[in-house]
Amino acid sequence: MATEIERKFLVDRLPDLSEATATQIRQGYVTHPDDSCEVRLRQRGDRYLATIKSGSGLVRGEYEAEIGREAFEILWAGIMGHISKVRHTGPLPGGLMYELDIYQGPQAPLVTVEVEFTSVSEARAFRPPAWFGREVTGQRAYSNRVMAIGETNAA
Task: State the first-to-last Cα distance of the chain, in angstroms, to the nearest integer.
Answer: 27
Closest by alpha carbon to 98, among 123, 115, 118?
Answer: 115
The catalytic residues are 29
Pairing type for strands 59-66 and 132-135 reads unpaired
Q: Could you give the maximum distance between any two Cα atoms of the chain, in Å?
A: 44
CA distance to 47, 53, 62, 123, per residue, from 6 (Å): 22, 13, 11, 7
**Cis before 109? omega within 30:** yes
Strand 81-91 to 59-66 pairing: unpaired
